[in-house]
Structure 1
């Protein structure tokens, strides 16, 4: 089944199981994203054949699932390569706006929320006063045409080094995704908003992040002993 203009309507032709494989979300999930972005991605043109918000989200999800714009063009969605490119750019730009991101990614300063985080980490390994874990993750990208060398990371591929803080349930609380791959984790932290929250005492003093040895040890950031002695230091690392 196709709608006007020869574009396949996958929301009508595929069930939830069939949607999950190519788009990673079921119908309810897809429509949640559509409704979230509808105002930002609805075409202002009154052309009869304008690309719908549903089609834009589906196309973008397909691209995110495969990393290939060509796949979006060949999936019987009825869009040209140039249209696919425009749709993906528009949809990702809308998704990355602060008013959207902060609905889902936010480091809460609420005392009850921080207490829940502490309790959850305590339940995992008996480690007290931890409200989050911080680390960097390298996201591979196509080699850029400008400043190419600074995007090559220690694993020798081009990427963005992304700083993430997450809770015991692996939910992202804070994210910084702007640094080229060669940037050290400690550099990202030193210039991040999360450091400001802790060092300016917006976060209570009895709250800590855990980080690996790539970070400096601070009163609010606990890192491993590099050469732990037997006993308390080894237990702390473990």
Structure 2
């Protein structure tokens, strides 16, 4: 992340993260809050390691991270994350040899520490604890939709079936409704996936 991007992010998040000092506690600067969160999200470092890096108690790192993520969701999610140009995605996939494609969908296991008393649910088929993140991307790998939170033992098809993306696709309100000629037939737009996902309209 460039310094300019970092400072711009801090400026956007200041209304939600600016706190007042109290006689017993000196509050961290917005830059430090955002720096801690960006560092933790970008690296596999432990809370202890991040705390040492920023001179903050280990116990504070999780609270700082959650508050910054909440601020990002509240202030920036709908402002900065939006569906890209559907026509550009279609053209991009056509140039890659998929003429009727809107996006590519798959799930990935995000490693986590096993939660107490429920570690078995989070143990994935590769035998490590994780949460499943489902992502829909365009032809350039840019995120169009993400859905995260299911335990690592959950099959990709089940995650998809319970996602908001599935509901929007079935309702016909996510992808533009159009058919594209492919050879001597016409096909609706599609999303490509691997064999873990069922073939659905």
Q: TM-score per shorter chain, which class?
A: 0.7 to 0.9
Q: Cα 1:82–1:28, aligned 2, differ >3 Å: closer, same or farther?
A: same
Contact 1:105 1:174 (8 Å CA) reproduced: no
Counterparts of 1:107 and 1:90, CA distance in 2: 26
Q: Structure 1 length normalisation: TM-score?
A: 0.72
TM superposition shift of 1:136: 0.2
Counterparts of 2:31 and 2:13, CA distance in 1: 10
Counterparts of 2:74 and 2:34, CA distance in 1: 18
**More contact order relative to length (CA 8 Å, sep ≥ 6):** 2
**Largest Rg, 1 or 2:** 1
Cα deviation 1:138-190 (Å, max 9, x = unaligned): 00000101322111111111000111000011110101011111111111111
Q: Structure 2 length normalisation: TM-score?
A: 0.84
Structure 1, gaps ≥5 residues long:
1-24, 220-238
Structure 1 or 2: more strand by fraction: 2
Cα deviation 1:94-116 (Å, max 9, x = unaligned): 23x255333344345xxxx2111
Counterparts of 1:99 and 1:51, CA distance in 2: 20
Contact 1:63 1:71 (8 Å CA) reproduced: no
Determine if the alignment matches structure 1 residue 56 to structure 2 residue 33.
yes
Corresponding residue pairs, total? 188
Matched with 2:151 is 180
TM superposition shift of 1:67: 2.3
Counterparts of 1:147 and 1:49, CA distance in 2: 37
Counterparts of 1:132 and 1:99, CA distance in 2: 27
Structure 2, gaps ≥5 residues long:
179-187
Look up the SS of the partner of 2:76 in the other structure: helix
